[in-house]
Amino acid sequence: NAFVEFGATSVSIAEDGGIVTIPVTLASVKGIAENVSYAAVDGSAVEGKDFELVDGTATLKFDEQNRTQNIQVKILDRAGEYTGDLRFSLEIKSAGNVGVGMNNSCTITITDNDHPLAAILGNYTVTGESYYDGSHQWTATFSKDPDDISVVHIKGLTYDLSDEVTGQVSEDQSTITIGLGQLFYTGSYKIKLYAFDGEYYYTESGMDSIVLTKDETGAFVFAEYGPGFYVFDVNTGEGLGFWDLFLPGVSFTK
């Protein structure tokens, strides 16, 4: 009943992260001595160009005292070159006289540090005035889209919202246009994004977005409208009222 498998089916490492270590375990009631070979399989990442195996023999040696061994892979940094996130996999090639478990491969993602939006990605301190209960400060995160280099995902648009909205970044990265009407689901409710100017919320045709604009300090600010979130019952579609309304002036500082 002995078998060998990877400790994880996927891992990530930054392109300048150096060496990534992936554990492999031979599980058995009694210690078994066995040699297990593995192989790297190119994907968008190519061996010799984006990574290389530290151990050229690509063989793990197990015995009673060494039931877990590590595969080490060196990541080759392509600094200054935007490649997008790259992926390759490791697979067990031969397990000798033992079986191969369900985790028979591991996908490694090399995250690119040279994304065109790198300057605006990351964590932000957000300050804003709630229509309901005054000043708040919280943290938001801007993250990249896996397919579109002009799109940013914003988590934490309001202080107690963990869902993501998406925004279109201008070519000069000075504005982020966030489409209204984006939906989120929380438990048995759905929440819809609106615009709010401090007195009215806006849903009429002709206004389909709100804009974060970079100010002279480098912060992104909702200058004309704040975000508003309206709650619906998922099962009935019944409107339940506004969950959050924020005044213009909400500011995101990196």
CA distance 231 to 187: 11
CA dist 201 → 157, 178, 180, 212, 243 (Å):
17, 15, 11, 17, 13
CB 24 within 8 A of CB 7: yes
* Residue 172 backbone class (left: φ over 0; alpha: ψ -120 to 50; beta: rest): alpha
Closest CA to 71 of 83, 61, 85: 61
CA dist 218 → 8, 27, 124, 136, 225 (Å):
40, 54, 12, 20, 19
**Structure tokens, 105:** 């491969």
CA distance 28 to 230: 55
**How confident is the model over 204-227, as a mean pLDDT?**
90
Split at pLDDT 50, 70, 90, the class of 160 is confident
Alpha helices in 202-253 (DSSP H): none
Instruction: List pLDDT tens digits, range 56-73.
Output: 999 999 999 999 999 999
Closest CA to 86 of 10, 15, 6, 142: 15
Total residues belonging to the chain:
254
CA distance 33 to 126: 57
What percent of the chain has pLDDT above 90? 83
Instruction: List pLDDT tens digits, range 1-24.
Output: 899 999 999 999 999 999 999 999
**Structure tokens, 184:** 């989120």
**How confident is the model over 163-180, as a mean pLDDT?**
96
- Give yes or no for residue 206 having a pLDDT over 80: no
Q: How many CA atoms lie within 13 A of 208 on its CB side?
A: 3
CA distance 100 to 94: 9
Global model pTM greater than 0.85: no
3-state secondary structure of 82: coil
Burial of 181 (0-12, 13-18, 19+ CB in 10 A): exposed
Instruction: List pLDDT tens digits, range 120-138.
Output: 999 999 999 999 999 999 9
